[in-house]
């Protein structure tokens, strides 16, 4: 289908706007009104004209020129008002198919902001105007701009939130001028008619600012026009959502009294009574809630008094228990302090003993040096230094080896894991290969030739002639069959037992490998935590008893003096008392799990 042709007037106007200066562009854009009025509203021709105006950027030009200063341009501020009307007429009913986000998310909010900025300029010039003719002209232009804004957000409801969130709107509303303030309150009422829930979606600060300004206008002026407009807006706000009625009655507690005393009998009693009824119903509901709250508090107070009296009856027992626990805790603290003091005394004694032993050692060395011949002193000092050097080297090599083993532990763990995975994979592949061989399809033997058949028949006859078959009785054949069946059953049973034994051996090997990996990956005693200890807990009581006894024996052995370690007394740890075997406790055991 061939697309419709573009209007020649649009093409000519786009060319003129592109070639003209910024001063002449607003006057040229006034021709858009004639183009828009040439088509009926809502028709396909009108939609086509608006789309062409948007695609040729004429709508964007209308939006941008609204920020110019029209005091020195041809036509003055009346041109700006007409352009605002043209802009709203172009945007309402426009359907953008290519890149709609650019139109809805950028152009329309920018158009609303520019229109409100133009309204602020007109409002400021209206306030500063002295002559009545100038005031009436600026007021007419201001109302034209507000009507254009209302027409714009009437076609695009999502713009109502943009209007309320704009700083220009709040500045336009905060004015002492009656005419412009009335026009702005009328715009606010149109916003609530178009989108009644818009006040719930805007920022709370903006909502409070708007409501503060409306209530301020009711309290600071006696003009019935301003009072009527503010009352209508507050009534629309209250009727839009019950939450806003609660906000009005809570934030402005004297609003109902102000309405009844100051604005009664001013010609808009109907709206005033409706707003008062809404505020009164909300206050009644709050009073009922307050009474319920007081009743709940009274019930709670009575119940708490009952509990307190009941607790006072049992107070002597509680005091006795408290004193007993306090005395026990104080006794424990005294015992702890006494133990700390004993430990400190023991530590000081050990330190003195070390110092005394060190002093005696140095004195002994000095005595030996006095006894040693003068010619052998150097040799003695060299031997002492050599022994000290060997001791330092031994400790350093041990430290270096331990650090190297600790660093290689992770790589060793990875190597063992790789070996285990490879072993399991090879075993699995071998099993699959054996199954594949066992389940391979039967291949039909190749057909024999005539000569081969004669040779095989001759061999068969020779074998039958050399080995004649013996006659067998029926009872004997049955007995042989029964024996064969018994041997077959024994073979199957033995193979099943062998298979179970093989599975058990594999499970034990897997457990041994797991225990080895746990031992290799176990942290050092300095880094071990309770979670690491849970891995090595055993459920078996005999094994736990044996581990505990071995651990206690080793600790006892480490505390023995050197002369006692020369014998075999510490090796006698095979006897385990019976009462230990009957005790359930958890201790460290490699390869087990936490006892229950």
* Predicted pLDDT of residue 471: 66
What's the alpha-carbon Rg for the chain, to the nearest Å?
A: 52
* Predicted pLDDT of residue 424: 92
Q: How far apart are the first and last CA of the chain?
A: 83
* Percent of all residues in the chain with a pLDDT value above 90, rounded to a whole number: 9
pLDDT digits (tens, 9 = 90+) for 333-377: 999 999 999 999 999 999 999 999 989 888 887 887 777 777 777
**8 A C-beta contact, residue 216 and residue 174:** no
Residue 112 pLDDT class (50, 70, 90 cuts):
confident
On average, the pLDDT of the chain sits at 80
Q: Which of 19-28, 478-487, 560-569 has the lowest mean pLDDT?
A: 560-569
Cα separation of 108 and 102, whole Å?
A: 9
3-state SS track over 149-160: HHHHHHHCCCHH
Residue 247 reports pLDDT greater than 80: no
* Predicted pLDDT of residue 579: 46
Residue 282 reports pLDDT greater than 70: no
* Predicted pLDDT of residue 341: 93
The H or E element containing residue 210 is: helix 204-220
* Predicted pLDDT of residue 101: 82
Residue 311 reports pLDDT greater than 70: yes
CA 243 to chain centre: 32
* Predicted pLDDT of residue 287: 56
Residue 102: left (phi > 0), alpha (psi -120 to 50), or beta?
A: alpha
Residue 322 reports pLDDT greater than 80: yes
pLDDT digits (tens, 9 = 90+) for 511-557: 888 878 877 877 777 777 777 777 677 667 777 788 888 888 888 88
Identify the architecture of domain 8-195 in CATH.
Answer: Alpha Horseshoe (1.25)
Q: Which of 47-56, 380-389, 441-450 has the lowest mean pLDDT?
A: 441-450
Contacts of 85 (CB under 8 A, 6+ apart): 33, 144, 147, 148, 151
* Predicted pLDDT of residue 310: 84
Residue 23 pLDDT class (50, 70, 90 cuts):
confident
pLDDT digits (tens, 9 = 90+) for 189-246: 888 888 878 888 788 888 888 888 888 887 888 888 888 888 888 888 888 777 777 7
Residue 585 reports pLDDT greater than 70: no
Residue 596 pLDDT class (50, 70, 90 cuts):
very low
Count of helices and strands (H, E) across the chain: 24, 0
Q: What is the pTM of this model?
A: 0.48
More confident residue, 595 or 82: 82
Residue 292 reports pLDDT greater than 70: yes
* Predicted pLDDT of residue 340: 93
Cα separation of 60 and 558, whole Å?
A: 93
Cα separation of 347 and 329, whole Å?
A: 27
Phi, psi of 32 (to 5 degrees): -60, -30
Q: What is the mean pLDDT of residues 481-502?
A: 90
Neighbours of 306 (CB within 10 A): 10
* Predicted pLDDT of residue 333: 94
Q: What is the mean pLDDT of residues 442-469?
A: 79
Phi, psi of 525 (to 5 degrees): -65, -30
Q: What is the mean pLDDT of residues 110-137?
A: 84
Residue 105 reports pLDDT greater than 90: no
Q: Where do the domains of the chain lie?
A: 8-195, 375-406, 532-581
Q: Which of 119-123, 181-185, 209-213, 471-475 has the lowest mean pLDDT?
A: 471-475
């Amino acid at each position: 289908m061939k697309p419709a042709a573009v209007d020649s007037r649009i093409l000519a106007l786009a060319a003129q706007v592109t070639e003209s200066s910024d001063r002449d562009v607003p006057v040229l854009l006034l021709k858009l009104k004639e183009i828009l009025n040439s088509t009926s509203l809502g028709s396909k021709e009108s939609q086509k004209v608006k789309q062409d105006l948007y695609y040729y950027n004429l709508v964007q030009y209308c939006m941008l020129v609204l920020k110019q200063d029209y005091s020195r341009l041809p036509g003055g501020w009346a041109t700006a008002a007409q352009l605002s009307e043209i802009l709203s007429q172009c945007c309402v009913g426009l359907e953008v198919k290519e890149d709609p986000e650019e139109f809805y998310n950028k152009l329309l909010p920018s158009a609303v902001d520019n229109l409100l900025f133009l309204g602020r300029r007109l409002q400021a010039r209206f306030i500063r105007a002295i002559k009545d003719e100038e005031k009436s002209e600026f007021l007419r232009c201001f109302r034209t701009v507000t009507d254009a804004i209302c027409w714009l957000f009437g076609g695009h409801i999502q713009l109502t939130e943009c209007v309320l969130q704009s700083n220009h709107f709040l500045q336009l509303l905060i004015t002492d001028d009656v005419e412009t303030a009335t026009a702005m309150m009328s715009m606010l009422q149109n916003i609530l008619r178009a989108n009644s829930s818009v006040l719930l979606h805007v920022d709370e600060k903006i909502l409070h600012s708007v409501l503060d300004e409306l209530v301020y206008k009711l309290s600071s002026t006696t003009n019935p026009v301003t009072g009527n407009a503010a009352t209508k807006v507050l009534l629309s706000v209250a009727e839009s959502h019950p939450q806003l009625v609660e906000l009005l009655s809570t934030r402005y507690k004297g609003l109902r009294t102000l309405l009844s005393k100051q604005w009664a009998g001013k010609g808009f009693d109907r709206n005033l009574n409706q707003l008062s009824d809404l505020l009164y119903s909300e206050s009644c509901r709050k009073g009922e809630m307050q009474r319920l709250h007081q009743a709940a508090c009274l019930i709670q107070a009575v119940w708490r008094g009952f509990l307190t009296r009941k607790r006072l009856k049992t107070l002597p027992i509680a005091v006795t228990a408290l004193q007993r626990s306090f005395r026990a805790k104080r006794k424990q603290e005294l015992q702890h302090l006494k133990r700390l003091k004993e430990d400190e005394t023991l530590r000081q004694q050990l330190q003195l003993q070390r110092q005394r032993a060190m002093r005696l050692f140095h004195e002994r060395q000095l005595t030996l040096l006095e006894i040693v011949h003068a010619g052998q002193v150097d040799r003695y000092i060299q031997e002492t230094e050599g022994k000290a050097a060997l001791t330092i080297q031994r400790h350093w090599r041990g430290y270096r080896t331990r650090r190297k083993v600790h660093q290689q532990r992770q790589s060793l763990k990875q190597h063992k894991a790789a070996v285990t995975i490879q072993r399991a994979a090879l075993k699995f592949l071998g099993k699959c290969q054996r199954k594949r061989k066992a389940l391979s399809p039967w291949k039909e033997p190749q057909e024999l030739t005539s000569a081969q058949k004669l040779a095989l028949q001759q061999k068969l006859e020779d074998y039958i002639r050399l080995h004649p078959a013996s006659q067998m009785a029926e009872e004997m054949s049955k007995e042989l069959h029964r024996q064969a069946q018994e041997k077959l059953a024994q073979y199957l049973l033995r193979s099943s037992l062998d298979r179970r034994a093989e599975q058990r051996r594999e499970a034990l090997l897997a457990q041994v490998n797991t225990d080895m990996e746990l031992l290799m990956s176990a942290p050092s005693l300095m880094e071990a935590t309770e979670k690491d200890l849970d891995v090595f807990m055993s459920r078996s009581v005999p094994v736990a008893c044996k581990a505990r006894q071995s651990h206690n024996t080793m600790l006892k052995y480490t505390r023995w003096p050197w002369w006692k370690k020369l014998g075999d007394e510490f090796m006698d740890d095979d006897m385990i008392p019976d009462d230990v075997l009957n005790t359930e406790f958890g201790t460290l055991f490699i390869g087990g799990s936490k006892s229950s």
